[in-house]
Amino acid sequence: MQTSHLTRLASIQHFNLIKRSLTRPTGPVLRKLIASDASPTTNYVRTTCEFRFASTTTSSSNDGQNSHDEEQKKKNITNLMYLAGAVTGLGAIYTIFQNRKSSKEKQDAVSAYDTKQLKSQHADDKLDASKKTLVEKVGDLQDRKLLAEEEQPVELSKTDLTPVIPSFAQYLIIGGGTAALSAFKSIRAHDATAKVLVISSEKYYPYMRPPLSKDVWYTDDDNLLNQYMFKQWNGQEKSLFVFDNEFYADVKTLNDEENGGVGVVLGRKVVNLDLKTSVAKLDNGWEISFEKCLIATGGQPKSLKVFQTASNRLKSKLTLYRGIDDFFALKKVVDSGADVTIIGGGFLGSELACSLAHRATENGKRGNPNGKITQLMPEAGNISKVLPEYLSKWATERVRDEGADVLTNVELVGASVVQDGKVSLSYIDPQNPKKTSYITSDHVVVAVGIEPNTDLAKSAGLEVDPDQGGFLVNAELQARHNVWVAGDAASFYDINLGRRRVEHYDHAIVSGKLAGENMTGAHKPYWHQSTFWSDLGPKVGFEAIGLTDSQLQTVAVYAKGKPTDEEQKRDSEGNREQQDVAPEATANDLKHKLPESKGNLDKDDYSKGVVFYLKENKVVGIVLWNVFNRIAIARKIIKDQQEITNFQELAKLFNIHQD
């Protein structure tokens, strides 16, 4: 009786176990296993279940006859126990498999979560750090030093603990171009222990820009070019960089240098200038407090309206020429034999037209691919804003002699990329104004001047010249008591010629030098007349000084050029040398001479000469056409401000008729 009760209890317990197992996630799996012939185990389970079903059916139909058959009940209980055991075993196997799979997925998920959290935390730390004040950052630095002392035996040097960018600058220069270079040279010359920090958005140390449109294109040694060197007209090799990298101090330890130095931070831009607190904020959030600051941000190349809404495909075929990377990219285009169109008839556009045409011609001579170089301009001739019209047209013929196709007096009205991948430029030809003309090219170079970079004016509260652009400064190039501006971005007051803004290399040198000197305590006004120059190939070059506006009255004296004429010279910065050559007579000595007589001039008569620009019969500007190393004489004539009546005699001061 007791045995029968236990057997009945065991049957109920196993039945409940089976029922619970089948209602859990193992139920569908078990059913599939029973319905499958995949393995002996499932066959056994299926056979057992079928046996149990047959047995229970038989037992139910003969319940009255076999109610006391204990032997049969024992067999049924045994079968149920077997079935329960099989189900329990399968459930255990399934659970183990699921646990392993779930464990791996959890581990992967946890790992991914941890990585994401670390990245997020790192980003948050960066953001928090950018919002910290200068005092908080210094506090963080001290904490790092204390932590380094505690974590032995790891030893960290002072350099390791110093931020990449100093938090204070005695002299801060914003910009890394020519004006900045000239300024820090001047600062160091007048303050031997000065610590100068330069923030430059360039990826290169300060370099010379003028050769990028001239000399480098006439350098036939690519290995030399890849070393950032070029050949001058006289064949001498020269680096684009004024100083070697070793000249510059490590910015990390700049403020600890006993004798000072110049440190340059490359690839960073000042985005905010707070003059109330004398703090400059960089694009990475770092803040630098300063004692004195020079803004030498220069300018950015202008574009044209037809390109401002251009597609990305068209923009990829467009170059706004400015720096070293632009040269190498454009050189690759030219050397591939592509047709290139240059838009602009000023200094840069005219120089590039000559240079690229020369490069393409030389490529053809060597059997390499060479394309067509075309120049488009709205003016009647090259450099027409400076040169008198007749001389501008003569210069255009010299550009054509170099191999460029020059189209003058054209108005560009559209640009698009056509099916063959070329750029189609549409323009209005004045000879047929009712018809739109087209020219196709593989690449387009836009050289239409620059726009002064005055982005800091708003945050700094500085005035911008509404007419000429640039930061408004006084004759000492000062915008505030501890802020100066130099170079292309400065609209300065010239004590001789009034308010001006100049975009020439020599002006960047002169204004940078003056600003640097005034930053060290001098109070000198801008009086030195800067010069500018241009070369249209190796045969035509000129130097100029003062106001040289083609709208002014001009008087010119020419002579036939000779192979023995003196060549131009340059200083260490690539600037034309300005030697103080003493004139044989002054402008005042020539005041009462007879006026010049002007005869018929042929093509060769423009090969060498002097062009005088007049205001109220006084010389305010001079162009030395293929006459070199006489700028000091021209400067003295402008300074004298005497009325001149005989320009033939005045021209003799420049020795243009030398034997």
Tell me: the pLDDT tens digits for 203-251?
A: 999 999 999 999 999 999 999 999 999 999 888 999 999 999 999 999 9
What the block records as the tokens of 599 is 């005869």
pLDDT of residue 600: 41
d(CA 604, CA 401): 14
Mapped to the 3 state alphabet, what secondary structure does 603-652 carry?
HHHHCEEEEEEEECCEEEEEEEECCCCCHHHHHHHHHHCCECCCHHHHHH
Residue whose token pair is 């904020």: 281
| Inter-helix orientation angle 2-23/26-35, to 10° | 100
Beta 299-301 vs 450-452: how paired, if at all?
antiparallel
Find residue 411's DSSP bridge partners: 428
324: amino acid identity, one letter: I
Does a cis peptide bond (omega within 30 degrees of 0) precede residue 153? yes
Q: 519 and 171 in contact (C-beta within 8 Å)?
A: yes
d(CA 412, CA 390): 24
DSSP label at residue 207: B
d(CA 206, CA 173): 12
d(CA 618, CA 345): 29
Distances (CA, A) of 40 to 28, 33, 93, 185, 382: 19, 10, 15, 92, 96
- Say whether pLDDT at 365 is over 60: yes
**Buried b / exposed e across 302-338, counting CB within 10 Å, b at 16+?**
ebeebbeebeeebeebbbbbbebeebeebbebbbeeb
d(CA 247, CA 237): 20
Instruction: Compute how many other C-beta atoms are within 10 angstroms of the C-beta atom of residue 6.
Output: 11
- Say whether pLDDT at 481 is over 70: yes
71: amino acid identity, one letter: E
Q: Smallest Cα–Cα separation from 617: which of 636, 644, 656, 638? A: 644
Residue whose token pair is 């400059």: 280
Write the CB contacts of 451 (distance below 8 Å, at least 6 apart in sequence). Answer: 299, 300, 301, 302, 469
313: amino acid identity, one letter: R
pLDDT of residue 93: 65
Write the CB contacts of 72 (distance below 8 Å, at least 6 apart in sequence). Answer: 55, 59, 66
Q: 343 and 444 in contact (C-beta within 8 Å)?
A: yes
Element (H, E) at 174: strand 168-174
pLDDT of residue 428: 92
- Say whether pLDDT at 606 is over 70: yes
Of 465 and 574, the structure prediction assigns the larger pLDDT to: 465
- Say whether pLDDT at 581 is over 50: no
Q: 564 and 572 in contact (C-beta within 8 Å)?
A: no
- Say whether pLDDT at 59 is over 50: no
Looking at residues 240-266, what average pLDDT do you find?
Answer: 96
561: confidence class by pLDDT, cuts 50, 70, 90: low
Instruction: Compute how many other C-beta atoms are within 10 angstroms of the C-beta atom of residue 520.
Output: 15
Phi then psi for residue 83, to 5 deg, are: -65, -45
d(CA 44, CA 46): 5
DSSP code string of 532-575 = EEEESSSS-EEEEEE---TTSEEEEEEE---TTSPPP-B-TTSP
Beta 229-231 vs 237-239: how paired, if at all?
antiparallel
Looking at residues 384-411, what average pLDDT do you find?
Answer: 95
- Say whether pLDDT at 501 is over 60: yes
Q: What percentage of the chain reaches a pLDDT higher than 90?
A: 60
What the block records as the tokens of 398 is 């010299």
Across 41-50, 150-159, 635-644, least confident range: 41-50
Predicted model pTM:
0.71
Instruction: Kindly tell me the burial class for residue 385, based on how many C-beta atoms sit within 10 Å of its own C-beta (0-12, 13-18, 19 or more).
Output: middle
What the block records as the tokens of 14 is 């196993």
pLDDT of residue 430: 80
Across 135-144, 252-261, 308-317, 462-471, least confident range: 135-144
pLDDT of residue 659: 45
Looking at residues 35-61, what average pLDDT do you find?
Answer: 45
d(CA 412, CA 421): 20
What average pLDDT is seen over the chain?
81
- Say whether pLDDT at 485 is over 50: yes
- Say whether pLDDT at 626 is over 90: yes
- Write out pLDDT tens, residues 347-357: 999 999 999 99
pLDDT of residue 14: 46
- Say whether pLDDT at 536 is over 60: yes
Across 78-87, 503-512, 601-610, least confident range: 78-87
Looking at residues 50-79, what average pLDDT do you find?
Answer: 54
Across 102-116, 478-492, 548-562, least confident range: 102-116
Find residue 643's DSSP bridge partners: 618
Of 544 and 29, the structure prediction assigns the larger pLDDT to: 544
End-to-end Cα, the chain, rounded Å: 146
pLDDT of residue 653: 92
pLDDT of residue 296: 98
What the block records as the tokens of 414 is 């559209």
Q: 282 and 161 in contact (C-beta within 8 Å)?
A: no
- Say whether pLDDT at 33 is over 70: no
270: confidence class by pLDDT, cuts 50, 70, 90: very high
Find residue 197's DSSP bridge partners: 172, 263
Q: 137 and 128 in contact (C-beta within 8 Å)?
A: no
Q: Does domain 168-206+242-298+453-520 have CATH number 3.40.190.10?
A: no
Q: Write down how long the chain is.
A: 659
pLDDT of residue 472: 98
2: confidence class by pLDDT, cuts 50, 70, 90: very low
pLDDT of residue 496: 75
Q: 425 and 589 in contact (C-beta within 8 Å)?
A: no
What the block records as the tokens of 495 is 């004590």
Of 466 and 95, the structure prediction assigns the larger pLDDT to: 466
Distances (CA, A) of 231 to 26, 176, 338, 533, 571: 84, 24, 25, 18, 15
Rg (CA), the chain: 42
Domain boundaries, the chain: 168-206+242-298+453-520, 302-450, 539-653
pLDDT of residue 567: 58
pLDDT of residue 591: 37
For domain 302-450, give its CATH number from 1.10.260.30, 3.40.50.620, 3.20.20.70, 3.50.50.60.
3.50.50.60
Looking at residues 294-311, what average pLDDT do you find?
Answer: 94
The domain made up of 539-653 has a fold known as: Enolase-like; domain 1 (3.30.390)
d(CA 487, CA 452): 9
How are the residues of the chain apportioned to helix, strand and coil, as percentages rounded to the nearest 5? 40, 20, 40
Identify the sign of the CA torsion 191, 263, 528, 580. Answer: positive
Instruction: Kindly tell me the burial class for residue 99, based on how many C-beta atoms sit within 10 Å of its own C-beta (0-12, 13-18, 19 or more).
Output: exposed
DSSP-based three-state secondary structure for 529: coil
- Does the fold of domain 539-653 match that of domain 168-206+242-298+453-520? no
Looking at residues 496-510, what average pLDDT do you find?
Answer: 90
Across 34-43, 80-89, 225-234, 275-284, least confident range: 34-43
pLDDT of residue 137: 53
607: confidence class by pLDDT, cuts 50, 70, 90: confident
Q: What percentage of the chain reaches a pLDDT higher than 70?
A: 68
pLDDT of residue 575: 54
Of 38 and 126, the structure prediction assigns the larger pLDDT to: 126
Of 190 and 109, the structure prediction assigns the larger pLDDT to: 190
Looking at residues 453-459, what average pLDDT do you find?
Answer: 97
140: confidence class by pLDDT, cuts 50, 70, 90: low
Of 609 and 42, the structure prediction assigns the larger pLDDT to: 609
